[in-house]
Amino acid sequence: MKIGLIGLGIMGKPMAKNLLKAGYDLTVSDLNKAAVDEVVACGAKTASNKEIGETCDLVLTMLPNSPHVKSVMLGENGVANYMKAPQVFIDMSSINPVASKEIAAELAKKGVEMLDAPVSGGEPKAIDGTLSFMVGGKKAVFDQYKPVLEAMGASVVLCGDVGAGNTTKLANQIIVACNIQALAEAMTLAKKAGVDPQLVFEAIKGGLAGSTVMNAKAPMMIEGNDKPGFKIDLHIKDLNNALDCAHSVGSPVPMTAQVQEIFQWLHNHDCGQDDHSSIIKYYKMLTGIETTGL
C-alpha cells in the first residue's frame, strides 16, 4: 500500500515517523521544507500534492483547519482532481464536521471513499504513537484502514458516518478546554491561599478530580512552561468550530463560550502560539501572582 501524507506540523511529523516505523511506503508533502527533509531522512519519499493524488492508494491529511483541507483537496489543482476509485482519503485534521461532509460528497462523485479521523493526545502522544482516533465513515472502509491508524494511535474508534469523527473531536475539545480552565482556577486559588500548587496537584491527582488533562498540564502551569504541545490559537479554532456546530443544532454551550473568550484574550495579548495550559496567564493577570511558574 502506498500512502501519501500532506501536513507535517507539530502533529503530522511524528505521525509520519510512526507510519515509517510500522513499515509503510510513505510519501510526504508540506510547505515547510525542513520538516519534509527530516521525514525523508527517516525513510519517506517526497512528491507534489498532484503526484500524491495520482500515485497513492491512501491519501492522508493533517492540516490546521477546514479551509486548508478544502483547499488542498478541492481547490484549483486540488488532490481530489487526480484521485479515482478505489483510492481512499482519510482526513486526520480537526475541522468543522460540515466541511468533512462537503469534501466527502465531492469525493463520492469520483467513487473515492473518505473517513474523517481527527486525533486527541497532543504532540507527546503523536510522538509515542498513542493518539486517540475518532473516526467517521463507512464501517467497511474503517475496518480496512484501521491498521494504518493503529500505527499512530492506541485507540481507534468508529463513531458513525462521515462527520461523526469531527463532531466527537469537538466534544473532546470542549471537555479539554473546560478542564484546563478549571485547573488554572484551582492552581491560582492554591497559590493565593498560600498552599503549594505542586502539593495540591500531588494530593488530588489520584482522586476524582484527577485526569489526563491535569497530569499533562498542571506541571506545565507550575513550571511556567508554555512550549506548545497544543497551541492556544488551535484551540480557539476548535472551539469556534464547536460553537458553530452547537449553534446550528441548537445545543447550549455557555462554558465553551466563556473559555473561548479567555483564549481570545490570550491571543490578543501575544500568547496565541503558547500551549493552551497558558490559560494560567489570564489568572495571573487578574491576581498579580508571579508571571513565571506558580
**pTM above threshold 0.95:** no
pLDDT, residue 293, reads: 80
State yes or no: is 169 an active-site residue: yes
Give me the pLDDT at residue 33, please: 97
**pLDDT reported for residue 122:** 86
pLDDT digits (tens, 9 = 90+) for 30-41: 999 999 999 999
Q: Which of 69-73, 106-110, 120-124 has the lowest mean pLDDT?
A: 120-124
pLDDT at 242: 95
Average pLDDT, the chain: 96
Domains, the chain, with CATH or none: 2-161 (3.40.50.720), 167-287 (1.10.1040.10)
* pLDDT at residue 289, as a whole number: 87
- pLDDT surpasses 60 at 291: no
At residue 292 the predicted structure's pLDDT band, cuts being 50, 70 and 90, is low
* Residues 37 and 31 sit within 8 Å (Cβ to Cβ): no
Radius of gyration of the chain (CA): 20
Given a contact cutoff of 8 angstroms between Cβ atoms, the answer to whether 140 and 113 are in contact is no
Torsion sign over Cα 129, 260, 160, 61:
negative
The answer to whether the CB of 242 falls within 8 A of the CB of 173 is: yes
Q: What is the pLDDT of residues 166-183, one digit of tens each?
A: 999 999 999 999 999 999
Q: CA-to-CA distance for 182 and 124, rounded, in angstroms?
A: 22
For the residues 89-101, what does the mean pLDDT come to?
A: 95
Going by C-alpha positions, the residue among 219, 237, 192 that lies closest to residue 277 is 219
β strands within 100-257, DSSP E: 113-116, 119-120, 131-136, 153-160
Comparing C-alpha atoms, which of 232, 242, 222, 220 is closest to residue 269?
232
The pLDDT > 70 percentage for the chain reads 99
Cell of 293: 511558574
216, three cell numbers: 499533562
- Active-site residue, selected from the candidate residues 125, 169, 191, 237: 169
Neighbours of 239 (CB within 10 A): 24
Count CA atoms within 13 Å of residue 272 on its CB side: 11
Q: Indicate the residue type of 15.
A: M
Alpha-carbon distance of 189 to 272, in angstroms, equals 24
Residue 290's pLDDT is what? 74
Q: How far is CA 117 from CA 12, 57, 61, 222, 246, in A?
A: 13, 17, 10, 33, 20
